[in-house]
Structure 1
């Protein structure tokens, strides 16, 4: 992975029809949910319950009746066939994009991917979907997952969290007959988890490129936004606030930010790394060596634009970000504060 950086600034299962499931999905779509009320400039009809991309999940009843089947058969929906060979040239517009989000809870990950989804779906010819691992966990869990569920020393819960991430990613990959860009909206805070997700992607015979997008909020107190998170429906605000602080403490204890050394171990498997800081105050886009070499060859051969359609879309999003939502989003984030 090159060190050159340019700083600039959603299967085979049916979506749930229940009001509760739609509510859970909409509430988990952003850390600062009030910013997406219909009166806000962040509002988009594509983020409303019933029209947003709701992470497809398997019902508890289905899991119960299938409990004797293997995990592999149960949680891997049948994927469309994308047979190809190493030497086969894949048309540019046929390549799909997996975006692996990285970041602590309340770091703006979900907000960012929904902003990109709205931009892609409304301003380009491509389709984008968001697949939230928290939605899968909430659907699968029979009880409230308090902060203890996120304790890294809770091995049983760790296995469940890994499983929920795997289910979510499998549904994302299975939806590539309907979308072009899929966001795996999960924390992916450790190198081990990211490796697992990359291994799963590489095991599928699908022509995809992988982008890692890390979101970091260092200055804003947006933890209070989690009071509206789907985990805390009908919960006392003080309890919810303290529980989420404890959850965040668990995540911080194991968080491993993406490093150049880690990216180097992926070789060309990860096409690019994007770092978003403080709600888009800065975006750093770093492409892998293969991409940079191709862009240099195109430039030498007089090709004005290289054929990486996803980079064009990403650059367009970055270029218009502040004007469309960025400035107001950061302002609202700074003002969104509850002190107990």
Structure 2
């Protein structure tokens, strides 16, 4: 009897959720040749029967090779790569009721994020002392954290090109408005005491895209600014269930998600809705990412998250910054649309930095 495999179980659950019914393939003595994941999915659902095909020993070897050993090599380029980019939008269920790790790590390193309350006068005073009162929320998602900070009297510039319209679709118009507001703040020379990348870099599918984002943030830092970034860690159960298998109370965490081969620590999920990548980081690679752009990088682990505290931005490389701005402000949208604000962004950053981009 074949043993259950997390990856196979994910496939089985995904097929069941999509209404795809495939029989399992058995030998004459009931050993599973193909379909162990579908069998587990059926067992977890409490199904008493499942369709099966029995093959002879000779055919079993052929079926095992043809059904289990063939592989496919997917390349995400062009439209396929863009689909993963705009699939990064924050899902409706991912609402924030408390500030995330990037916002809490400046003041609470060992306590739970939920223990920090920006509305508490003592907590607010401590946070302002460290982070200042004029901040940038880059990749603000639903805007929950920006709202909480604004309610506490903090000046927040928020940028979210892929805002969810509440129906699991991206709002192009809201993305444009957000970009316009961000570009206006940059052009005006507004100084940010702190910048935040809160749960952003997990959903950005490719290394070069992540580097573009961090490069833009670094260009907006001065000698007294600090960038706080947080992302999911490889220590968390969401990644661990792909490497050691889920425990009984964790099996749903990796349901419908699959490891990909193009980069370590990456999964893809939501295949039946809008494919979304998740990148999980260890200390070394998170530090390496930010050290390209900052002279001082401190890495902290907090629960299932990893955080970077970045200071002393490195000198701007105009050519590479221009490439980053052309990418970020001409992001793809469904239906072949693009954000189309690269020239405005290049002009704003040129004015702010006093360089020609």
TM over 0.5: no
User: Which has the larger share of helix?
Assistant: 1
- What's the TM-score once normalised by structure 2's chain length? 0.26
User: Which has the larger share of strand?
Assistant: 2
Query: Considering only CA atoms, is the larger Rg found in Structure 1 or Structure 2?
Result: 2
Which structure is richer in relative contact order (CA contacts within 8 A, separation 6 or more)? Answer: 1
